[in-house]
Amino acid sequence: MSTILTAARALTSQGIVENPILTLEDGRIAHISTRESSETPAGAKHFPNATITPALFDVHLHGAANHDVMEANPTALSAVASFLATRGVGQFLPTTVTAPIDATLQALSGLADIIEGPAQPGQARPVGVHLEGPFVSHSKRGVHAAALIQPPSVDLFDRFYEASRGHIRLLTIAPEEPGALDVIRRAAEKGVRVSVGHSNATLAETDAAIALGAVSATHTFNAMRALDHREPGVLGAVLDRDVLFAELICDGVHVAPELVRLWLKAKGPHRGILVTDGISATGMPEGTYILGDFEVTVANGRATARGVLAGSVLTLDKAIENVRAFTGTSLATAVGLASTNPATMLGLEAPVIAEGQLANLNLFTDDGKLLATCMGGAFLA
């Protein structure tokens, strides 16, 4: 059975197509045409003021729907993945938080089981793990537990990598810590992308990490050495070095709109990455929730623990809406920040709208509001 979609435009692999007709069959995009070249079949779903986009990709996500990814069991990950799909996310990296070593090893093993399992209809797909911690700076640890932070160690990284059965795709590390450069070298050798973050690094220390293979920055501006005009530090490197991708939490809480604009000017449309850093409270009422093994309080849109911000309750579709509002950038650019760029950073195939590709699609208004989501050719309620 076919599903036919029409809209004002579509962001396809060949560029923007005006007045598109998409035919979906067996969960894939079977045909793309236009209303100028083809007659619209009866029974089509019409979205006359919408833009069809590829699904989104969140590379920094701790949980949602009252579940933390450190639970690492099918029930928890299914709840998280189902919620993400309703917000337009087709792929994600379950992201760990600094925890006891044995707990992290257990979580990595459980996540590997789920990643290696079959794709679930109507759910975002976990395609790897983002290991955030335990190799972070004490001075920029944020909410990461001080007693559980570990000095960077190749041996410990190898234990984590083996527990994940090779599914760690992204590693956050503070490059100034003793042993960090050896870990960065090892991670890069294994094809793991390295992101500098939770770091008090100088410019020179950050450049040393880049030279060894660091390719991105974790939640730019947050848990990061402040910019100084004589010692630009890690933040100066992130904003100035074109080789680096740079995450940003665009919720209006973590980063002021003025600095969102600076970030986008510095990184441009191809190196900025929108992330959520979402926790188990995402999609839930305000209250008390769990991040790893500690409690987080959510009130007035802010998640806090131990007196500091503890992730967010942002969804990636809302990040697109916010970046449009804060910067005035195009919808195509905003969507690219949350789909093409994270995939490119990881060396994965970017989600695209093209014949033969999975029908994982979103429909957005011009100002970036999510209207509808289609996963595997099926519209989600």
Active site residues: 277
- Residue listed under structure tokens 């947050």: 222
Closest CA to 221 of 203, 235, 201: 235
Is 166 annotated as ligand-binding?
no
Is 9 annotated as ligand-binding?
no
Is 60 annotated as ligand-binding?
no
Is 222 annotated as ligand-binding?
yes
319: helix, strand or coil: helix
Is 236 annotated as ligand-binding?
no
Q: Please give the Cα distance from 189 to 195 (Å, whole number).
A: 15
Kindly state the tokens that stand for 241.
Answer: 């070095």
DSSP state of 225: P
Question: CB 339: neighbour CB atoms within 10 A?
Answer: 30
Q: Please give the Cα distance from 376 to 24 (Å, whole number).
A: 9
Give the sign of the dihedral formed by CA 321, CA 326, CA 332, CA 337: negative
The type of residue at 329 is: T
CB of 208 closer than 8 Å to CB of 169 = no
What's the Cα-to-Cα distance from 345 to each of 119, 170, 216, 312, 349, rounded to whole Å?
23, 10, 8, 22, 10
Q: Please give the Cα distance from 294 to 143 (Å, whole number).
A: 10
Is 323 annotated as ligand-binding?
no
Alpha helices in the chain (DSSP H): 74-86, 101-115, 154-163, 180-189, 203-212, 233-240, 257-271, 316-327, 331-337, 340-346
Is 219 annotated as ligand-binding?
yes
Is 15 annotated as ligand-binding?
no
Rg over CA atoms, the chain = 20
Cβ burial of 259 (10 Å; 0-12, 13-18, 19+) is: middle
CA 32, 125, 327: angle at the middle one, nearest 5? Answer: 70
CB of 26 closer than 8 Å to CB of 377 = yes
Kindly state the tokens that stand for 121.
Answer: 């209809």
Is 254 annotated as ligand-binding?
yes
Is 368 annotated as ligand-binding?
no
Is 130 annotated as ligand-binding?
no
Task: Tell me the binding residues for substrate.
Answer: 143, 222-223, 230, 254, 309-311
Task: Tell me the binding residues.
Answer: 132, 143, 198, 219, 222-223, 230, 254, 309-311
Task: Tell me the binding residues for Zn(2+).
Answer: 132, 198, 219
